[in-house]
Chain A
Amino acid sequence: MTERSGAIVMRSGRPVAAAYRKKAIDGRLTALLLFLPPALLLFTLFVVLPIGEAAWYSGFNWNGFGKPTKWIGLDNYRFVFDTRGFGTAFRNNLLIIAVSLTIQLPLALTLALILAEKFRGSVALRMLFFLPYVLAEVATGLIFSFIYDGNYGLLASIYRAFGAEAPHLLASTQTSMLAILIVVVWKYFGFHMMLFIAALQGMDKNLIEAARIDGASRWQVLRHIVVPLLYPTIRLSIFFAVVGSLQLFDLVMPLTRGGPADSSNTMVSFLYNHGISRMRVGFGSAIGVILFVICVTFAITYKRWFMRNE
């Protein structure tokens, strides 16, 4: 926002405003000189340079030792797209996004609408649902790998109680991704729920009261007042869900390591399994660059189209 108003000041160059303008520019210049360099330096050092490096490495056949010397142009990108596992990983990422949007967010929204009310135990329940989010990803992965274990796990004992043989969810190409999706939803719905609850609590109650007085039913209030007022939060929540899915890695590793047969890789775990652990730094960097392009494209389009006014 500040940038834009700055641009307006600069452009509206009428003589009357000249003095004011000069002063404003001076102030802005000082601020710019004071605050821009540290931010710019950090950003360059930790964001721009590594991305540039990755792009540079992606042109080499390089195992990570010493300096890269064997330039192979765009071959690494071709190799990435030729690898069957990458397609699966990409589809898995889309699947995670789809599940986040169709199951996780509605679930979070419903719970938020219920728990935003003040009643006995509502705070305790909020905490309870939020707890999985606090848990470290790797710990969550390990806990669920024990739960899913077909021999000794919780799931196995439940199946046995009914006299059935437990499936090995993590060991089959058909179910490995399902198992991961369950954990993803379980772990992150609490976070989105909290976002919604915060938004609900900050909502202007007068509007709702006014609608009630006008004779709106509970459903009508919800449908035409509460949810529309939640749109900014929902858009934010979707943004987090999508970016989070694209980055998903540390839940996958302890659960399946992307297997069996690359069936449960995300793009990041694919990068790790096929780039880092094979010492193919060039190949891995190519995946990194592709992932970066996808993320940036998404972030910019989404901001442009859906979050314009925020």
Chain B
Amino acid sequence: MRIVRTLALAAAGFIMAAGAAAAQTTVRWLHIEQNPAQVKIWEEVARNFEAKNPGVKVEMQFLENEAYKAKLPTILQSKDRPHILYSWAGGVLKTQVEAGVLEDITAGVGDYKNKLSAAAVEAFTVDGKLYGLPYNVSQVGFMYNKDLFAKAGVDGTKIKTWDDLLDAVKKLKAAGITPIAVGGQDKWPLHFYWTHLAVRLGGKPAFEAALKGQNGGFEGETFQKSGELMKQLVDLEPFQSGFLGFKNQQALGFFGDGKAAMNLAISHHSATQRALAADKKGVPEDKLGWIDFPMPAGAKGQPTDTLGGVNGWLVTKGSPKEAVEFVKFFVSDDVQRALAQQNFIIPTYKGAEAALSAAFMQNVAKNIAASNYHQNFYDQDLGPSVGRVVNDATAEIAGGSMTPKQAAKAIQDAFKQGN
């Protein structure tokens, strides 16, 4: 391979020297998007960028979500690493920054960052330096199938408290409908329950205290209570049978096929469930409802607090400056609007959210704008070593092999081990 490559390079060099052609720069761009409709738009974005910047080629590379997370450290230290990488920000980003594998793009982006949502940009800033740009924000909440709710006589708009949710689950079960589809094998869809309960119960102060090891850390009252409330739900057997063997994609397809009434989803999964449904249509726009994560009794968090992600593109060390240009182009008004129009993202470019066409996504955009505490996913925010334990432990609560107390202890132990 190397010989072939060297020869090819030599040949390319020769041709360039002879033809005095413009230097060709290739920008390698690694993404994890699975929805073909969305990838198609991205490809157009890449081609448009190439058209506007002669001599630059954008090469798209794809890895599946879990595979990407597992390979990332190796990819980042390879010589052929991609220039642009997908990222959820959080603790993983911090580790990468500390390892010095990312490019500081503060200067390259300049004032352009002011055009984007400040909170989202903040997520990609470590110690005052910018390492990437966000293109999407998301919120975790229940998406539900209005038809199935109607069949069971449940009104989704009335679900405000944790007990309301438990009631709805009971009614759905009584009507012979699977209340919730969840991708338990991937574990992170289950960690949303525990995490969001913690966000509701303790708000920002509880999380920050846990990070400092105060109030018993992640073994403290808030987090044990989260597990207990989660167990209340689990004890009702709300999930599809065999949920621990389902990947998230399969669960979304299951929901899209109308086989379950709810899915605790990331907002943009409203589009993914369509792509993954057997008929490729899924639950249509007008049948799809959204429930903000319910408030448990005695919650200290604000109802406006949100759990969700910030997705963006990182630029790796030693990348050509065209990579930064491409990332800027990707979060420009036009591109953001095009993606928002199809409801694939909640845009970060200020004002682009006006392009969202679905009431569903407009509502989510409003929620995020109103939120004072947007908690990033724990499994990203706490870094892989602790985050994965949160996923494990919460999946074990769901599977009944750990008590809420043991789960909280496992997480705190991992946090203390810190490697």
State the A residues within 8 Å of B (CB): 61-66, 70, 72, 79, 148-151, 165, 168, 170-173, 256-257, 259-262, 272, 276-280, 282-283
B399: A residues at CB distance < 8 A: 173, 260-261
Contacts A257-B185, A260-B395 given; does A280 touch B385 at CB 8 Å: yes
Q: Mark B287-323, 1 if CB is under 8 A from A, else 0.
A: 0000000000000000000000000000000000000
Which 8 residue pairs across A and B have the least CB separation, nearest first? A168-B242, A65-B99, A171-B245, A61-B419, A260-B244, A171-B242, A171-B244, A170-B245
B372: A residues at CB distance < 8 A: none
Contact between B243 and A171, CB atoms less than 8 A apart: yes
Q: How far is B259's CA from A150's CA once the two chains are assembled, in angstroms?
A: 14
Q: How far is B246's CA from A170's CA once the two chains are assembled, in angstroms?
A: 9
Q: At the interface, yes or no: B69 with Cβ under 8 Å from chain A? A: yes
Q: Mark B158-188, 1 if CB is under 8 A from A, else 0.
A: 0000000000000000000000000011010
B245: A residues at CB distance < 8 A: 148-150, 168, 170-171, 256, 260
The DSSP consensus for interface residues of chain B is: helix
A77 to chain B, nearest CB (A): 13
B260 to chain A, nearest CB (A): 11
Contacts A260-B395, A276-B70, A277-B69 given; does A65 touch B242 at CB 8 Å: no
**Most-contacted residue by chain B among A64, A72, A272 (CB, 10 A):** A64
Q: At the interface, yes or no: B104 with Cβ under 8 Å from chain A? A: no
Q: Mark B361-403, 1 if CB is under 8 A from A, else 0.
A: 0000000000000000000000111001000100110010110
Contact between B95 and A63, CB atoms less than 8 A apart: yes
Q: How far is B417's CA from A278's CA once the two chains are assembled, in angstroms?
A: 13
State the B residues within 8 Å of A (CB): 66, 69-70, 73-74, 76-77, 95-96, 98-101, 184-185, 187, 241-246, 254, 383-385, 388, 392, 395-396, 399, 401-402, 417-419
B345 to chain A, nearest CB (A): 27
B237 to chain A, nearest CB (A): 13
Contact between A64 and B184, CB atoms less than 8 A apart: no
Q: How far is B384's CA from A279's CA once the two chains are assembled, in angstroms?
A: 7
B363 to chain A, nearest CB (A): 32
Q: How far is B134's CA from A17's CA once the two chains are assembled, in angstroms?
A: 83
Q: How far is B419's CA from A72's CA once the two chains are assembled, in angstroms?
A: 11
Q: How far is B187's CA from A261's CA once the two chains are assembled, in angstroms?
A: 10
A250 to chain B, nearest CB (A): 14
Contacts A173-B399, A260-B184 given; does A277 touch B384 at CB 8 Å: yes
Identify the closest chain A residue to B77 (Cβ): A65
Contact between A277 and B388, CB atoms less than 8 A apart: yes
B101: A residues at CB distance < 8 A: 65
Contact of B95 among A65, A70, A150, A277 (CB under 8 A): A65
Q: How far is B245's CA from A282's CA once the two chains are assembled, in angstroms?
A: 30
A274 to chain B, nearest CB (A): 8
B241: A residues at CB distance < 8 A: 150, 165, 168
Q: A65-B76, A151-B254 are in contact. List 8 more A-B contacts (CB 8 A).
A: A65-B101, A66-B100, A150-B245, A168-B242, A170-B245, A171-B243, A173-B399, A260-B184
Q: How far is B187's CA from A259's CA once the two chains are assembled, in angstroms?
A: 10
Identify the closest chain B residue to A165 (Cβ): B241
Q: How far is B90's CA from A56's CA once the two chains are assembled, in angstroms?
A: 30
Contacts A79-B417, A259-B244, A260-B185 given; does A64 touch B73 at CB 8 Å: yes
B96: A residues at CB distance < 8 A: 65
B77 to chain A, nearest CB (A): 7
Identify the closest chain B residue to A150 (Cβ): B242
A65: B residues at CB distance < 8 A: 73, 76-77, 95-96, 98-101
